[in-house]
Amino acid sequence: MIKNTRHGYGAVAILFHWGMALLILGMLGLGLYMVRLPQSDPDAFALFQLHKSIGFVVLTLAVLRLLWRVVNPSPKLPAEMPVWEKGVAHLGHTGLYAMMFLLPLSGWLVVSASPWGIPTIVFNLFEVPHLPVPGDKAGTEALASAVHEYGAYFLILLIAGHVAAAFKHHFIARDETLKRMVRPSRGAQTVPGE
């Protein structure tokens, strides 16, 4: 199945989930590594350009993923899940989506406000223009940089919670929550409690 059903995810949603998960984990690892490099390191420039390039891929995929989710809603959470747990799940997913947009946009703003004026050449193919930054560029850069850094740490916490919840569903609750994000839904299925 390409599309989601009431009980499971389709192939497109699964590809978005795992593809973006790999990109975002790679970005977090790369970001944590490259900010510890001295600016004189010969690899620093190339790593920053790679980080920015992948950031634009993540931003593009986030837009496409959100559009897909609007036209193809997610399956319902398990009926036996407590209301508070459903609320936490919705908050967690909202936070993950927010970070998928906030981190690339804040990074783009950092680069745009930087006094260095270094262009972003996505995978050495084309240049992405800087965002317009009126007023105090130094203040904007400092704020955007703090949002980008602390947002990355917050995203790490959200991912850890997301993974922990998936394992809890799989190993403790023993429901289909994790399984349905691993294999595409095959259409209508019988769900316990219906």
pLDDT at residue 187 in the model: 60
Retrieve residue 9's tokens.
Answer: 């995810």
Instruction: State pTM to two decimals.
Output: 0.92
pLDDT at residue 113 in the model: 97
What one-letter code names the amino acid at 182?
V
CA dist., res. 60 & res. 16, Å (int): 11
pLDDT at residue 31 in the model: 97
Compute the CA torsion angle 7, 8, 13, 19 (nearest 10 deg).
Answer: 140
Q: Is the pLDDT reported for residue 186 higher than 60? A: yes
Retrieve residue 62's tokens.
Answer: 């986030």
Could you state, in order of their start, the residue ranges of all structural domains in the chain? 11-182
pLDDT band at 55 (very low <50, low <70, confident <90, very high): very high
CA 173 from chain centre, in angstroms, equals 26
Across all residues in the chain, what is the average pLDDT? Answer: 93
CA 111 from chain centre, in angstroms, equals 20
Architecture of the CATH domain 11-182:
Up-down Bundle (1.20)
pLDDT at residue 39 in the model: 85
Q: Is the pLDDT reported for residue 193 higher than 70? A: no
CA dist., res. 148 & res. 8, Å (int): 33
Q: pLDDT tens, 111-136?
A: 999 999 999 999 999 999 999 999 99
pLDDT band at 191 (very low <50, low <70, confident <90, very high): very low
